[in-house]
Structure 1
Amino acid sequence: MRRKSFGNARCPVARSLDMIGDWWTLLLVRDALRGTRRFSEFQESLGLAPNILTARLRKMVEDGILETRPSPERSDRCEYHLTAKGQQLQVVLVALRQWGEDHLYQPGEAMTAMVDTTHGEPVRRLGVVSASGQALRPDEVDIRVGSKAAAGPG
């Protein structure tokens, strides 16, 4: 069964999910954000079959999430690096992570922690805020049809 494409949807969430495709994409981005660059490193981290990993990495390069660069150690090999577009997925991963922290762990259960590398402090909780900085509840947000320019940054 072919997956339905949302590539032309009016909804940015649907279009984003169309590109992300599956959970492997975000796990590959997670690893790339932590410095993973080589095919073998991705494979070791995720335990993904080589053919599936090859297809997913190729698609991520085609979609502009990753780019390939020659390996500094071996000119016959390449490394995968996040593009600016790929790096912007960090906020998506932080949101998923924080949701998981809140809902998928028992009190006192061990989990990894996300901290800033300069100060070692926990990363601030994400939230939905107005342009003036006011925290917004779900019932205080509406979705309207408009242009990208009218939507504003982010």
Structure 2
Amino acid sequence: MRETTAYSGSVLPRTYESQNCSVARALEVVGDRWTLLILRSAFEGVRRFDDFQEALGIARNVLTDRLTRLCDEGLFRRVRYQERPDRYEYRLTRKGVELWPAVMSLLLWGDRHYAPKGPPVVVAHRGCDGALTDRFVCDSCGAPLGPNDVEARPGPGA
């Protein structure tokens, strides 16, 4: 049975098996608001369930569902960091890290179009404090940047 979600009085499918399209297939995995925000938080260094919950204000059952799905899809791996009781961290896999350019592109696009007071968060190069550009290089020194080269800092629109 196909899962559906109500939206504006119509019913939209949550799966796109009738479409031979990589965008549609990717949306089946990451095309949900909470999923993208969980990924954003993971790129900011969040790893533990309670920290995701606190950072996002997401309901625990929704977070459990999304983290389970992200683990099942191979974007995160669950790593135990404590016994009695068992507690786990959620660490990005290589497949998950590969989404960094997509998440950063959305962030930069949102900054251009929906941040009238300036970006709420600036993604800064750890090496020289320059800003990430839409070409994924530092605007100051020109170095190519990846998720391990940057940190999120409060911006002028914070």
TM superposition shift of 1:22: 0.5
Please identify, of 111-120 and 30-39, the stretch whose mean Cα deviation from structure 2 is larger. 111-120
- Counterpart selection for 2:129 from 120, 123, 127: 120
Is there any run of 5+ residues in structure 1 with no aligned partner, and where?
128-154
Paired position in structure 2 for 1:52? 62
Q: Deviations over 1:58-79 (max 9, x none)?
A: 01100111100111xx221111
Is residue 129 of structure 2 the alignment partner of residue 102 of structure 1? no
Q: How does 1:4-153 map to 2 (within 5 A)?
A: 4-7=14-17, 9-71=19-81, 74-75=82-83, 76-106=86-116, 108-109=117-118, 111-126=120-135
Whether the 8 Å contact between 2:78 and 2:90 is mirrored in structure 1 is: yes
Pick closer, same or farther for the CA change 1:82–1:8 going to 2, 3 Å: farther
Matches of 1:110 and 1:10, distance apart in 2: 36
Q: Displacement of 1:7 after TM fit?
A: 4.8
TM-score between the two structures when normalised by the length of structure 1: 0.74
CA RMSD after TM alignment: 1.8
Indicate conservation of the 8 Å contact 1:60/1:66, yes or no: yes
Q: Using the TM superposition, give the Cα deviation of residue 109 of structure 1 relative to its aligned residue in structure 2, in angstroms.
A: 3.9
User: Aligned-pair distance for 1:35?
Assistant: 1.1
Q: CA deviation at 1:54?
A: 0.6
8 A Cα contact 1:7 1:18, kept in partner = no
Deviations 1:97-147 (A, max 9, x none): 1111111122x44522111112211112239xxxxxxxxxxxxxxxxxxxx
Structure 2: runs of 5 or more not aligned: 5-12, 137-158
Q: Deviations over 1:6-47 (max 9, x none)?
A: 256322111111111301111111111111111100000011
Structure richer in strand, relative to its length: 2
Tell me the distance in 1 between the aligned counterparts of 2:101 and 2:28. 18
The answer on whether the counterparts of 2:111 and 2:118 sit within 8 Å (CA) in structure 1 is no
Larger CA Rg, structure 1 vs 2? 1
What is the letter of the counterpart of residue 19 of structure 1? Answer: V
Aligned letter for 1:93?
V
Q: Distance in 2 between matches of 1:99 and 1:39?
A: 28
Quote the Cα distance in structure 1 between the aligned partners of 2:20 and 2:31: 17
